[in-house]
Structure 1
């Protein structure tokens, strides 16, 4: 399981890296030629690439490796197969645990910052107006303007909103926050927090977070100016009067010092034509489909035996006594967790009983686990053998003397596990 988690996390990181590098390469040219709104839409590429990297591929058929026989045999009893790569399994488990701990830590940090902001709004008062979204007046002048929340966003205005801004500036600030709400920027911010939490060890995750918030504000400014292009100077004056929050709001959009005002004011002069805006939609869609195809093609296909656990396993058991040829043959179709019972006896070998099941193992292997008692065994044994689907493994218990067949008093089980029946 640890190996599978490591593999999936590694694919996530590769897909995320490829997507973020593509965004960093394209965002400025796209903003210059197609507008800030289309440039911001490029940030859908990282979560899209990460999602595509986890999509299942068709199962590929690989050539069966040479038959590998595991012999679990000594005179007087059977020993379980040697544990495979215990040290390796331990470090994989430690890496997965550290990764999950980091994700939880980032999530808790975001929750704490968000909760602290909401706590400061406990004395906020609702405002009346024509806005489609709830508008609250904060009790402090340092809070707002901002949009808070993802599913049910609220517009937060500072306590001195009506005295700090004139009527025209008030309308523009409210239009800015409504544009955030209309564009679902709170939901975009939540998605960005999730991506950062998943990729928290990656330097590009934190750089991308900062640039994402900047592009988000530039896109919102562009949306406002598309409807109020003649009020660029008044809009810039409103920006200069707005106080910056101490830190970026995780789920929401606050005026933060991470949004350089000089760059935002300079972008107010840009007004891409409607034709460029429409072309930009096709360009972004092309980039998204191309990157998704590249990530999917680069993701390795699942070899046969490493896909989703089947509904049934096939188990064949050939039983031989005293070093001779197999005398008894069992074949059973098992559900996951189901056991098959076998038993028998022979000359020199008292009656014995056993039961076996098949479980998936690392690397696409199948493990046959058994319980044996009776025969020449003084006490029950619990052998385990592991191999690729379709390979035969051997369990041999009892008194084994390979040089003297007459002295053999043993039970040999040739077990073969397969995917499906």
Structure 2
């Protein structure tokens, strides 16, 4: 895939993920109140669903194979022609900047994670299968993506009584069995890829809040008579000063008051939970379909036979509505865009060629504009595959005639450029 293609995919996934995040942020409170914290947490599945949907092949019909295209427009004598286009590749510089940002963000997360691991000191395996650290801040916690483990503070047996220790272990165990550590690693990966999107970083905080509330609800479902003890264990837990990027632990940026309030609320019934699952499934499928259907249908160039070129032209005459046409051609094959208007016959004859000078990747579009068989302009434009260019022409303002103008936005995509 070309640099321009990567950037376009990045833009499309950014828009899709942002829309999904906004939808979840709006609905999470309603879902939690109506169906419980577990359903609100499950609603975040809309974000990866939207991302995957955007990466699927777009819908729609493919381009026509006819080499000729006609249009009719008002016309007047042309006095000059201008062309705009670039054979440079600014997309490569933008792609390099994005890559630098993604790597820098990943290194920042890695440094934080390494710092937290080093702060734990020596980890001692306990008889109950958990590990005991030489510190207390941010613990207990479930950490590790490839080798998940539960780590408790050095004063675990002193600070908590037996029932509280059972509840805390159950809480961290729920993180492990539900795969929350892998979900958190996915969030970190997305924050690295979309490091330039502040909305995603903001949403990560609320994702972790819903994760903890969901885990609390699961613990209470297994220990319904231990609400008070569970709340006391929360109050005893020392809040972490900084979060683990890849861990699940108590006190991570979620309001303690919100968790205590939830302890007083009855657990949702099975029917409410099931209704919530249906709502989340419908939300995910609808959002994913919307993201898939909204993407432009330009991936067809990846399926063209060798040597063919996909041409997308957007023509605008004066202030009229632009007309978009897509078709397939071969290098050197003549294209004719003709029509008649205002008593004159107009024809735009063009060919596409590969390479210019020492730049073999450039696609050239040579055109000849005729009125009543007489050549009035011969503009040409060069561009890289998949990058748009424009030819602008207009009447001479000093000739005293109407200031008619035409803009032709054209994109040439070589076969296989979308792969």
Could you say whether these structures have the same fold, taking a TM-score greater than 0.5 normalized by the shorter chain as the test? yes
Aligned partners of 1:60 and 1:303 also within 8 Å: no
Q: CA deviation at 1:141?
A: 2.1
**Residue 24 of structure 1: aligned partner:** 25
Q: CA deviation at 1:44?
A: 1.4
Compared CA separation, residues 308 and 225, structure 1 to 2 (3 A): same
| Structure with higher RCO (Cα < 8 A, 6+ apart) | 2
SS at match of 2:131: strand
Which contiguous aligned blocks of 4+ residues in structure 1 show a shift greater than 6 angstroms?
381-385
**Residue 300 of structure 1: aligned partner:** 296
- Is 2:262 aligned against 1:267? yes
Aligned partners of 2:24 and 2:46 also within 8 Å: yes
Q: CA deviation at 1:36?
A: 0.2
**Residue 388 of structure 2: aligned partner:** none
| Residue 275 of structure 2, aligned match among 279, 299, 308 | 279
**Residue 118 of structure 1: aligned partner:** 117
**Residue 225 of structure 2: aligned partner:** 230
Q: CA deviation at 1:143?
A: 4.7
Aligned partners of 2:141 and 2:250 also within 8 Å: yes
Partners of 1:65 and 1:144 lie apart in 2 by 70
**Residue 399 of structure 1: aligned partner:** none
Note the alpha carbon deviations across 1:279-314, whole angstroms, 9 max, x for none.
11111111110101100010111264x32575x337
Partners of 2:286 and 2:359 lie apart in 1 by 53
- Is 2:387 aligned against 1:386? no
SS at match of 2:113: helix
**Residue 76 of structure 1: aligned partner:** none
Note the alpha carbon deviations across 1:132-189, whole angstroms, 9 max, x for none.
xx51001112251000012331000000000000111111111111111111110110
Query: 5+ unaligned residues in a row in structure 2: which ranges?
Result: 71-82, 310-350, 369-412
Partners of 1:26 and 1:9 lie apart in 2 by 26
- Is 2:245 aligned against 1:246? no
**Residue 209 of structure 1: aligned partner:** 204
Q: 1:52-67, aligned counterparts within 5 Å?
A: 52-57=53-58, 60-62=62-64, 64=67
Partners of 2:360 and 2:14 lie apart in 1 by 39
Q: CA deviation at 1:34?
A: 0.6
Partners of 1:266 and 1:176 lie apart in 2 by 18
Compared CA separation, residues 163 and 61, structure 1 to 2 (3 A): same
Q: 1:67-82, aligned counterparts within 5 Å?
A: none
Compared CA separation, residues 4 and 222, structure 1 to 2 (3 A): same
Compared CA separation, residues 383 and 21, structure 1 to 2 (3 A): closer
Q: 1:318-357, aligned counterparts within 5 Å?
A: none
SS at match of 1:247: coil
Report the TM-score when normalising by structure 2: 0.69
Q: CA deviation at 1:257?
A: 5.0
Compared CA separation, residues 280 and 366, structure 1 to 2 (3 A): farther
Note the alpha carbon deviations across 1:188-208, whole angstroms, 9 max, x for none.
101111121122211211110
SS at match of 1:57: coil
Partners of 1:141 and 1:285 lie apart in 2 by 40
Partners of 1:275 and 1:17 lie apart in 2 by 31
SS at match of 1:193: helix
Note the alpha carbon deviations across 1:217-273, whole angstroms, 9 max, x for none.
000001101111211111011001001122121111122351110001111123111
Aligned partners of 2:302 and 2:415 also within 8 Å: no
Which range moves more in the overlay, 161-170 or 41-50? 41-50
- Is 2:183 aligned against 1:188? yes
**Residue 169 of structure 1: aligned partner:** 164
Compared CA separation, residues 138 and 419, structure 1 to 2 (3 A): closer
Q: CA deviation at 1:108?
A: 1.0
Compared CA separation, residues 367 and 215, structure 1 to 2 (3 A): farther
Report the TM-score when normalising by structure 1: 0.68
**Residue 46 of structure 2: aligned partner:** 45
Partners of 2:114 and 2:415 lie apart in 1 by 50
Compared CA separation, residues 240 and 65, structure 1 to 2 (3 A): farther
Partners of 2:259 and 2:359 lie apart in 1 by 70
The count of residues paired between Structure 1 and Structure 2 equals: 315
Partners of 1:296 and 1:314 lie apart in 2 by 26
Aligned partners of 2:102 and 2:192 also within 8 Å: yes
| Residue 287 of structure 2, aligned match among 291, 294, 297 | 291
Query: 5+ unaligned residues in a row in structure 1: which ranges?
Result: 68-81, 316-364, 372-380, 394-416
Aligned partners of 2:40 and 2:210 also within 8 Å: yes
